[in-house]
Amino acid sequence: MIEKIEDRNVEGIMPLISPRAVKAAQPLTQRAAELVLETRRAIRDVLHGRDRDRLVVVVGPCSIHDPDAAFEYARRLRAVAAATRDRLIVVMRTYFEKPRTTIGWKGLINDPRLDGSCDIAAGLQLARKILLEINELGLPCGGEVLDPITPQYISDLLSWASIGARTIESQTHREMASGLSMPIGFKNSTAGGLQVVQHAMISARHPHTFLGISADGATAMIKTNGNPDRHVVLRGGGSGPNYSPADVARAVEMLRGEDLARPVMIDCSHGNSSKDYTRQPIVCREVLSRLEASNGAIMGLLVESNLSSGRQDWVAGSALRYGVSITDACIGWDETEALLGEIAAATCAKSAA
């Protein structure tokens, strides 16, 4: 038998439905388009200092694995978002891709049936359906962009996106961010370092040319203009939490030195909570207590929240508890609702001062 020179470790290559076909089956509605554009403008206004009266709050499940639970969460969050709209720009976390340190469930797009079948075509269509329905409710969506192909299918339904701690050093992700149409949050590295964020933000503001796919799914050369709407997300790391006044001041000064003067977002989870979900409200309240003194250095907060608190293990094909995360542990809805009220009240107090 002749030894293979190509595809030695490849089991199969399957054609994928094109972005154009997915969008044709689930087209962007006028209501959703208006909401996305309005929310992007609002976030830009906060990011660039034109709106100092509101905070951006990105809140929701660590990852979405159950559409029904996601819709129930969205309906609850929509009511709170409407009640606090004068003080908060509430964006629901709609994360469908999960970077893994080693192995594990990679998210709804990769494995929508949670059984290891990895029907990515179905996952892309399901992700778009969920985003479309949540936007139709009147609630904007945000997510982490991980695979550089995925945005072609769903980015028109995202008001905000992030580049994660595991991909912040990737040239591919910096290039992708330079062409995306929404504001982008860059998380510090898993070790906690900020210099890599600085490098990523500088890279993403410049034009790039790289390989991607067209709306018809063909391999294409993508040329970008650079994305002017970038900010830092402080999420802590191996070196410990980094949401203290000194940490925030250091991040702001670092950006100012590169002509990138802008506020930062605080992630209340991950390294800042020492990966203890019950500490998220503590982190949030500490940040709120210093909001007025921060002098505009903080643009928003990120909170991992679900219908019910905690997390559960995922095993392919197993029954799962409704409304409980299968990735990072989250705070529950009642605590989330109360916390959003506190954030709105603190923002109001800051404006009054």
CA distances from 163 to 43, 147, 191 (A): 17, 11, 15
What distance in Å separates the CA atoms of residue 234 and residue 322, rounded to the nearest whole number?
Answer: 31
User: Is 80 exceeded by the pLDDT of residue 257?
Assistant: no
Domain assignments of the chain as residue spans, ordered by start: 56-352
Give percent of the chain above pLDDT 90: 86
Question: 241 near 274, Cβ under 8 Å?
Answer: yes
| pLDDT, average across residues 87-109 | 91
Task: Write down the pLDDT at residue 177.
Answer: 97
- β-pair partners for 93: 142
56-60, 143-147, 183-187, 314-318: lowest mean pLDDT where? Answer: 314-318
Kindly report the CA angle at 248 between 245 and 251, in degrees rounded to 5? 150
> How would you classify the pairing of strands 209-213 and 219-223?
antiparallel
- 56-352: which CATH number, 3.20.20.70, 1.10.3210.10, 3.40.50.1360, 3.40.50.720? 3.20.20.70
Q: Is the pTM above the cut of 0.85?
A: yes
User: Is 70 exceeded by the pLDDT of residue 348?
Assistant: yes
User: Is 80 exceeded by the pLDDT of residue 203?
Assistant: yes
Task: Give the tens place of pLDDT for each residue, 13-57.
Answer: 999 999 999 999 999 999 999 999 999 999 999 999 999 999 999
Task: Give the tens place of pLDDT for each residue, 129-162.
Answer: 999 999 999 999 999 999 999 999 999 999 999 9
Q: Which of 101, 144, 55 is nearest to 345 (CA)?
A: 55
Band (353; pLDDT cuts 50, 70, 90): low
Q: Which of 320, 293, 288, 322 is nearest to 303 (CA)?
A: 288
User: Is 80 exceeded by the pLDDT of residue 350?
Assistant: no
